[in-house]
Amino acid sequence: MTHDTTLRDRAVSFRALHVPGRPLVLPNAWDAVSARLVADAGAAAVATTSAGVAWELGAPDGDRLERARALGAVAAIAGAVGVPVSADVESGYAADAAGVADTVRAVLAAGAVGINIEDARYEPGGSPLRPVAEQAERIAAARAAADAAGVPLFVNARVDTFLRGAGGVDATLERAAAFLAAGADGIFVPGAVDPGTVKLLVDGVDGPLNVMAGPGAPPVADLAALGVARVSTGAGVAQAAHALVRRAARELLGAGTYDALAGGLDYGELNELLGRRF
């Protein structure tokens, strides 16, 4: 498949949004309507949450969803908005580097211009993280596939040292350096929100730093002041939405009342939003 100028232009635009101190803010989406709502709120881009997408499709997160189903959701999201889309592809939906390259080609075919790819492992036993050299090979394959397609895909390498309790700042910086050398464009370190830690990462990573924020994390303005280039919420928005479903269901089936439904979006507004051309 050849990729048109629009896809390349979106990739260039998305890349330019990663500015240390003026971060790209991404309330992660998981389907067409959440993506349209995020874009309508003024987001400069839309990023998917792999967990939210997996849950939407009836699967658990953690390398349990098939590539085709995941990328079908990405295509629906990319088709629903007029801003650049970045796809969270977990660890690449593939067993090896060649498979990661296939995933990247599918991401581009779906209309996305960025990926998050993580170094976590979910197989029973062994290390919680892939060996650095193996993950670097997978990132290099992603980079090569995008370059061959002529699209400057933004490869955001997720380092799960903090999230998996598998290392601190030094181990994170070691991995980040290897992944950037392999062709990553940015580094994503979920689980690190302490201002002192974030500052060490900003200073030690030779590329844009992405932080995952939520309740208890510093406000976006504070993260910007530390030099962060991207702030995302991961599965946070999806988790909040699903919490509302549970509250409403338990209230209705228990007390028989409807208070949890107060403040819902207007039917006509949602219908108009989805019917609008972007």
Which range (57-71, 114-128, 169-183) has the least confidence? 114-128
Percent of the chain as helix, strand, coil, to the nearest 5: 50, 15, 40
Rounded to whole angstroms, the Cα distance separating 150 from 1 reads 11
Q: Please, how many CA atoms are within 13 Å of residue 140, restricted to the half-sphere of its CB?
A: 9
Nearest of 26, 190, 198 to residue 119 by alpha carbon: 190
pLDDT at 157 over 80: yes
> Degrees (nearest 5) of the Cα angle 58, 28, 26?
170
Q: What is the pLDDT at residue 4?
A: 53
The residues near 113 (Cβ < 8 Å, ≥ 6 apart) are 7, 10, 11, 14, 84, 85, 86, 151, 152, 153, 154
Q: Which residues contact 10 (CB under 8 A, 6 or more apart)?
A: 84, 85, 113
pLDDT beyond 80 at 278: no
Q: Whole-angstrom Cα distance, residue 34 to residue 154?
A: 22
Residue 254: other Cβ atoms inside 10 A: 8
Q: What is the pLDDT of residue 181?
A: 98
**Span 8-56, pLDDT tens digits:** 999 999 999 999 999 999 999 999 999 999 999 999 999 999 999 999 9
Asked whether residue 3 carries a pLDDT value surpassing 70, the answer given is: no
List of domains in the chain: 5-235 (3.20.20.60)
Q: What is the pLDDT of residues 229-268, one digit of tens each?
A: 999 999 999 999 999 999 999 999 999 999 999 999 999 9
Alpha helix (H) ranges present in 85-227? 97-110, 132-149, 169-182, 195-204, 220-225
Share of the chain above pLDDT 70, in %: 98
- Across 175-190, b (16+ Cβ under 10 Å) vs e yields bbbbbbebbbbbbbbb
User: What does pTM read for this prediction?
Assistant: 0.96
Backbone dihedral angles phi then psi of residue 87, each to the nearest 5 degrees: -105, 125
pLDDT in the model for residue 65: 96
Q: What is the mean pLDDT of residues 141-159?
A: 98
The residue type found at 35 is: A
Q: What are phi and psi of 128, to 5 degrees?
A: -75, -15
Determine how many CB atoms are found less than 10 A away from the CB of residue 79.
13
Q: How far apart are CA 221 and CA 211, in angstroms?
A: 13
- Residues 278 and 273: their CA atoms lie apart, in Å, by 10
pLDDT, averaged across the chain: 96
**Rounded-to-integer distance, Cα 173 and Cα 187, Å:** 10
pLDDT number for residue 125 = 80
Q: How far apart are CA 273 and CA 212, in angstroms?
A: 28
Q: Is the pLDDT of residue 212 over 70?
A: yes
Whether pLDDT at 5 is above 90? no
Band of residue 124 on the pLDDT scale cut at 50, 70, 90: confident
What is the pLDDT, as a whole number, of residue 48?
A: 98
